[in-house]
Amino acid sequence: MVLESIDSVNQGASGSNVVPLRTVAEHKQQPRGVVVKADLDDGYLRLSNTLVDALCRVSLSGRQFRVMLAIIKKTYGFNKKIDWIVADQIRELMNYDSAYTHICADIRELKKRKLIVEDGRKIGPNPIVSEWVLCPENDKMTNKSRDRNLSLEEPKTVTAMTENSHFYDRKQSPQKKDNITKDTIQKISSSHIAVAMADTQIKPDAAIQTPNGKLWGSADDLTCAEFIYSRVLMVNPTAKKPNWPDWANQVRLMRTQDHRTHHDICKLFKFANTDSFWASNVLCPKTLRKQWDKLNAKLLARSSHEANTATATANPARHEHSTARVFRELREMAEQLEHSADHHGGGNTIDADYEPVQP
């Protein structure tokens, strides 16, 4: 019966601008993995470019847009401008499982915004797109997105005007000049400068600092950081240039919070820089501060060992073994006896035939 009615419509449409109807393929939920290809042989809609452009510009929720497409399919898809369409038909076409009351609410919203027209129980797309309400006044989501986009665009506009202020009037297109007034430029620039001034805190003793003043250091802190970088270059000549405010800030924290002097900081880093293990592991003031206790303990142990070695070299008898000391003392006594015998004898020998004169 359906095929006969379609054939009769096709015969009556010959010679006219009406596109012949074809059997409409039922697009049900396909099993996963099945390839479904869209083909004009399955049927197609002929829509005005003006209508499609309006659909691209209109602000709708996801479900509202699907309801609008379903109404277009149920009307223009059958060469009808308007038809009796119930919510269950739209829900079935959308493959929507929730209550049809949501569909009814969307249809009422589309009527209110004049995207669709009604005639009794029949509804259809409104071909007069100039009557469409593309963006509702009470659309909170639209207002939020508009404010967010404006907040994201303002810094770019301020940056562009600040960096290119010397050739703004010469290179700006006439269209953009009309859109951006002098009052707007002044308001945006003033607010941007106020924010920048609020974020900038100048430290009185700072020789170097970040714009917000969170990282800073004095002249001596910076000099200490430069000494550390010079020692790093001895280990790694290709080391990148450091972030000087950060390095000076770490030196300042060691000085103010950990109560280290600049001499102690440089001395300990020099020791770490000459150690076979720590030379490649301590390459910045932050790591030095983190490993301070371990490095300082090792430095004290090495200093104590060197002091004991020097004392042992100066006075070897202090750490001499008892047996070795006995042999050493016997050897020294033998040398003294031999030296004494040579001294008293004068190097002369006694003649065996010599007889002393009797008194």
Residues 174-230 have pLDDT tens digits of 444 444 555 554 544 544 544 544 455 677 888 999 988 889 999 999 999 999 999
Instruction: Describe the crossing of helices 292-314 and 262-274 by its angle, rounded to 10 degrees.
Output: 80
Assign 127 to helix, strand or coil: coil
Distance CA 111, CA 240 (A): 65
Distance CA 12, CA 15 (A): 8
Under 8 Å between Cβ of 160 and 173: no
Helix or strand (DSSP H, E) at 145: helix 140-163
DSSP structural state of residue 5: H
In terms of Cα–Cα distance, which of 276, 282, 277 is closest to 228? 282
Distance CA 339, CA 282 (A): 61
Report, as ranges of residue numbers, the positions in the chain whose pLDDT lies below 50: 1-25, 140-142, 146, 149-179, 185, 187-188, 190-191, 193-194, 196-198, 348-357, 359
Assign 96 to helix, strand or coil: coil
Q: Tell me: the pLDDT tens digits for 85-133?
A: 888 888 888 887 766 678 888 899 999 999 999 998 899 999 999 999 9
Which pLDDT belongs to residue 181?
Answer: 53
Assign 267 to helix, strand or coil: helix
Ordered strands of the 116-119 beta sheet:
83-84, 122-125, 116-119
Which pLDDT belongs to residue 86?
Answer: 85
Which pLDDT belongs to residue 352?
Answer: 43
DSSP structural state of residue 33: T
Domain architecture of the chain: domains with CATH = 2-131 (1.10.10.10), 145-199 (no CATH), 216-290 (no CATH)
Which pLDDT belongs to residue 342?
Answer: 65
* Start-to-end CA span in the chain (Å): 179
Which pLDDT belongs to residue 137?
Answer: 66
